[in-house]
Chains A and B, each alone.
Chain A
Amino acid sequence: MQKRNYRKPLLFCALLISSDGKAAAQDRETPEFHALVPDVGVTSPGNRVTVRGVGFPSDAVLYLGGFQVRQTTFIDSTTLEIVTPYLRPGSYKLQLRSGQTTVTSKVTFKSLPSETDSAIDKALALASQGNVSAAIAVLTDVAKNNVDPQVRSAAHYQMAQIYFQQGDWWRWAGESGAVFEPESGAAVQTSWEYRLSYARSVYLLPIESDPETPVRLVSWAVEYDVTRNPEPMFYRSLINARYGNLDKAEMDSKFILTTDPDNPSYRALAAYIATLSGHRMDLNHLYNESVTDPRALTLLGEAAFLTGDIGSAQRWWALASKQYPLGASLAYWAGKKHLARGQQRVATSLLTECTAMEPTSKEAKDAQALLATSRASHIQ
């Protein structure tokens, strides 16, 4: 398919400003938050809250914890009224977006559990105890019957996470997609966690006819996230790297390293991108470090494999397998996807990773068969 250009959402150009900082991007007065009244309420069906402050623009839209509120009403430049989105119990910072400007605040709202949250908590407890079917049954009931669509979306998301932990990828993908009911409104559209789960599932599983879709979806996860969490950017960088968009991958990688320079996954990603770009220096730095993060280990293994250092690759993958055996399956699906895209080099590293991590699994056998077929066609 022909590569398309597309209009990027305005959020992509948003300028992040801290409300208690003085970095003014515009001439107009920078919004400041003073208080939320009340600043506590149950999670569902939403609380009407008055926001006090100064400099509120008339087009302001507020977020809590990255979830767009159900409703923002502009009273005047010092007062806004909002209806809180569904949030799992906890404290959440307030964000404001106006035009291309995003403002974060230290003002928080505390979300208290409702009866629905008790059911969700129960399901999560069951899942952690290994009773997955019971957990899914509880969450399915919530997802089907709760009157609050945002709660239903949250239940789907929780089911997706349980399936992911089980390695049940297709159901993970199904529930990740099911999060996005139109009735749930903008809140679910702006959650980077929801979006990233869906984007990752699309990256791994469906054999897309449009190769840009995974990149586009993970980009939207980045662009809709007003919290600027580095995780969506990590995956955007990784996917771009594997699709050969190395400049874009490197840009994201550098950015997330500035926010968390010691994160082993981010460092491993930087090394992986460098390797794909033909540089090995970053990888050399990591040879003698003790890395335990399975995501980092798999990336290091892939980077070593790409340099021809099969021995190091096997060692890192073996360590990763001990930490997270399901990583072999993820590598298999990703490898299969890239093989279908004709990205032979990346696909070979991923499929080899699968065979190295779980050599007796069915997926490893499939991976070996794919590798053999790939080699044969490559020779021809």
Chain B
Amino acid sequence: MNFLSPRLLRSFFILFASQILTPLAPQFAHAQSQSSPPAHKAPPPRSLAAATDQQQFLSYWTTETGWRTELQLRNNQVGHILTVTPVLRTADGAETPLFPIVVQPQEVKTVDVATAVGSSAPQLIGTYGSVALRYSAPSQINLYAVSMVMGVGHSIAFHIDATGEDQTENVGSREGIWWLPNGTANDYLVLLNQGQNPLQLILSLFDASGKAYVQNITLPPRGMNRVSVRQIVSAAKLSGSYGGIKVSAVHHAGSLDTLHVLFDQDAGFFAVMKMFFYDPRAQLQERDYAGTGQWTIRAPMLALSSPDPALAFPVGTLLQPELFVRNTTSKPIDALLSFNWRTDTTTGNSPGHTLHLIPYETRRIDVAALQDGKTLPQKAQWASVTMATTALPDEVVAVAASYDQSLHYGAQTPFSDQLAVQWEGGQWQYDPQHDSIITAGNGSSKPTQVAFTIFYNEGATKYELDQTLQPGEQMWMDIGKLIREGVPDKNGNTLPANLTSGSYDFRDLSNNRVGTLFEGKVIYDKTYGHVTYGCAACCGWGIPYLWYDPLSVIITALQDDGVYADYPCESEVDDVSNTFYNTWVSEATSVATVNYYGTHTGVSVGSTTSYCSALLTSNDAHERCPALARKPTAPVNTTPKVTIDSLAPNPIPQSGTATAHVTVDPAANIELSISSGGTGTATFGTGGNTTLQITETTAVTVTAGNLSSNGSPDLTLSSSYNGAAVPNAFSSAQFSVTTGACTATYASSTGSGLYACPSNVQISDKYNLQQYCGACSFSCVPISFDSTFTPSGCTPTTGSIQGAGNQVLTATETGRFAPSDCSLHGLQIQTTVTNAQGTTTTKYVGGNIGLQCNANGSPVCN
């Protein structure tokens, strides 16, 4: 890769995150104040979660006459392909799998459902249902999927995001808003059972004032029900053109999904009425990403009265932007609306607009009326709408719509509370008939740096832009403009002029654990003049865990600890330690203390527990990324310092003994053990035991078995305290058992060559030595040399892994080469080895070394 990896980027802005999270620190007196970040030595993390069977659901597909469905599948992983099997479900829950789709990393693949079923499952032509997407991956989030349902020959296109099933969720409801924009618009309210259990539902429709109509509905396993709100409203005699929808599940609420879409084929109108999952257990803290103490939702791309020319609406088109805001509870709720607007040249923000909503009320806000030059400029083209409330998450929901009077031209932007570090976007399009506009905004109260990346060429090529965003500010990407005008990215690269589609992502470079970014995208289709909005998937971390569990720290010594968490979006494990800085707590500082950075100090021998705590963005089954309070905890054992000062001889001759001196500070019950990873064996003393209890500093006898090791130090003398290995250096020692044969095998020689005469030369032979023993003796001498060479010393050295029986023996001879001729003069080294039993051999004569003068000395030889 030729750019900074996402992992590095996420780690780079450590201190920003820690500063943001500091107010979240628990009310404990922390052990030490901050100094400078230590050079932590992290152990290898656990393996990333293994790939398991995953499943997501798209709530609607149809091949009915006049409709076309396209599935978009994006692989969010880095470096791993994803094979997805779409399984079409009909309304009764029957399943028909389609051919598996292979999606390259960062790639978006599209599947035309009618084409896919045309040959293999023709019975599915002319029907509708839901889709289960099955794949194997470490995390559900590794796939981002969309169902695009389009009216053939009409400007109708519904963007439907996939979501997951949470089988642990028993209570909750889906909350939405119904709207009848004219007298002819149709609608579908899709109620979907993702799971394998029947689903008992209570469907409640409210008029604008909160008056309710209730209906019970049962969905079979995997089944769905498609109803018309218009018909129910009419039958229930609810008044008005808008109101609320509540779909409650008696049980298995985590298996419920809903979709509400409006369309008028004659008018060329369509709208997606986004519905929200209301979880009564949700805490404000986990959804208050910016830490404002309020729950905030945003609609980032509300098209205002004067549409952006980039949308290519006919000249003179006048939109009627409006908002629908609903109180989903039985209590009154206040909310504050505000707008960040932009024209083609300027941006600004509006003063707040307070709403007081009575129980179950739905309120329509005419944004067009606010474009009076006081609240919003008349020429403003876009607004990012923000609604903040002190109510709990999803107790207020909102939908934005912006259409002209004919309903033919318009656009939507969904409300969402999600701020994230990273957004993995779906497909964008640009061709003579399409254009895409993508935005990302800063939802926090501090400036932030944003990286925007476009992926194309099957995800293999990138186009990168960075921008600093002030609070509330958005970066605005007209993909068509970037391509048309050849706008260079930060690396000077431009998008190919013939590029028509790709994917994208946004990354928050300033905040790496709880992000500040919200996002939005619209795709304009000139064929029919319709604009669809797209969503991206946020990314969060898995459950964090401490580097060490348990943590062993030596008395009076320091031991670093930190935090890891899986980052499934990129199939990586991240070191998220910096998020938890300044939150570390030791429950017994008399045993161990812990500082700002998680570095522990052993105070006295004993056990305690330490932990740290912070908010960390996560992933849930509904493709949201709540910031959950995480508190990774692990036992801390302060152990005595145990040092194996010496173990000699090493290797130990077969059936021989060695003495190991072991220092225990302070005195404590320590278990010594001998383990073998090879053929060598050894025991303590003469009793044949491989474990030994000691209580203080002592010397122990290690008795070698009668089988030698295979050359490697395959035996380990280790120490443990309370069943855990003592962690200090030299608390274990490797050794081996040897026959003491010290058998040498010639390997190579060096030193031959041309020298400027006279010259001091150094030559050497290397031998591979087997069954080495410290009792072996070595010597070397030059032989077969003539008077031109005056030896000055020969040095045999052995070296390899401490305690290994296989060593390298090097015999190095130095001397002065001073001939008066240009002949080649030979020389060898004779290496003598005396084994551990005292038997001497000289069968070791190395290679023939040739010494000759070159042209640089005297005599001058060429």
- Interface of A toward B, CB cutoff 8 Å: 2-7, 9, 170-171, 173-174, 177-182, 189, 195, 198, 201-202, 205-210, 212-213, 216-217, 220, 223-224, 336
Residues of A within 8 A of B781 (CB): 170, 173-174, 177, 201, 205-206
Q: Choose one: A5, A6, A7, A220; the contact of B659 (CB below 8 Å).
A: A5
Q: Give Cα A7 to B782, complex, Å.
A: 30
**Contact in complex: A4, B649 (CB < 8 Å):** yes
Residues of A within 8 A of B795 (CB): 206-209
Interface centre among A7, A179, A224 (most CB of B within 10 A): A7
Question: With A5-B658, A208-B778, A209-B798 given, can you name 11 additional A-B contacts, CB distance below 8 Å?
Answer: A2-B648, A7-B653, A177-B779, A177-B842, A178-B783, A181-B842, A198-B779, A201-B779, A205-B781, A206-B781, A209-B797
Q: Is B791 part of the binding interface, using a Cβ–Cβ cutoff of 8 Å?
A: yes
Assuming the contacts A177-B842, A181-B842, A220-B838, asked whether A2 and B778 have C-beta atoms less than 8 A apart, the reply is no
Q: Give Cα A179 to B646, complex, Å.
A: 37
Assuming the contacts A4-B649, A6-B649, A217-B834, asked whether A210 and B777 have C-beta atoms less than 8 A apart, the reply is yes
Residues of A within 8 A of B775 (CB): 4, 6-7, 216
Near A by CB (< 8 A), chain B positions 649-706 give 649, 653, 656, 658-659
Q: Give Cα A205 to B840, complex, Å.
A: 18
Assuming the contacts A177-B832, A180-B840, asked whether A207 and B793 have C-beta atoms less than 8 A apart, the reply is yes
- Show 26 A/B contacts (Cβ-Cβ < 8 Å), sorted by A: A4-B648, A4-B774, A5-B649, A5-B659, A6-B773, A9-B838, A170-B791, A174-B781, A174-B782, A177-B842, A178-B783, A180-B832, A180-B841, A182-B841, A182-B843, A198-B779, A198-B832, A202-B832, A205-B793, A206-B781, A208-B778, A209-B778, A209-B795, A216-B834, A217-B777, A220-B834
Residues of A within 8 A of B259 (CB): none
**Contact in complex: A6, B774 (CB < 8 Å):** yes
Q: Give Cα A212 to B836, complex, Å.
A: 13
Residues of B within 8 A of A9 (CB): 837-838
Q: Is B717 part of the binding interface, using a Cβ–Cβ cutoff of 8 Å?
A: no
**Contact in complex: B780, A206 (CB < 8 Å):** yes
Chain B: how many interface residues by the 8 Å CB criterion? Answer: 36
Residues of A within 8 A of B779 (CB): 173, 177, 198, 201-202, 206, 208, 213, 217
CB distance from A195 to the nearest CB of B (A): 7
Q: Is B862 part of the binding interface, using a Cβ–Cβ cutoff of 8 Å?
A: no
Assuming the contacts A174-B783, A213-B778, asked whether A5 and B794 have C-beta atoms less than 8 A apart, the reply is no
Near A by CB (< 8 A), chain B positions 757-808 give 773-775, 777-783, 785, 791, 793-798
Near A by CB (< 8 A), chain B positions 542-567 give none
| A178 and chain B: residue at smallest CB distance | B842
Residues of A within 8 A of B840 (CB): 177, 180, 189, 195, 198, 220
Interface centre among B783, B785, B797 (most CB of A within 10 A): B783
Q: Give Cα A174 to B646, complex, Å.
A: 36
| B773 and chain A: residue at smallest CB distance | A6
Q: Choose one: B796, B836, B837, B841; the contact of A206 (CB below 8 Å).
A: B796
Q: Give Cα A4 to B659, complex, Å.
A: 11
| B790 and chain A: residue at smallest CB distance | A170
**Contact in complex: A2, B646 (CB < 8 Å):** yes
Q: Choose one: A7, A208, A224, A336; the contact of B836 (CB below 8 Å).
A: A7
Q: Give Cα A83 to B713, complex, Å.
A: 42
| B845 and chain A: residue at smallest CB distance | A178
**Contact in complex: B832, A5 (CB < 8 Å):** no
| B652 and chain A: residue at smallest CB distance | A7
CB distance from B734 to the nearest CB of A (A): 15
Q: Is B830 part of the binding interface, using a Cβ–Cβ cutoff of 8 Å?
A: yes
**Contact in complex: A189, B838 (CB < 8 Å):** yes
Residues of B within 8 A of A170 (CB): 781-782, 785, 791
Q: Give Cα A9 to B836, complex, Å.
A: 9
**Contact in complex: A181, B841 (CB < 8 Å):** yes
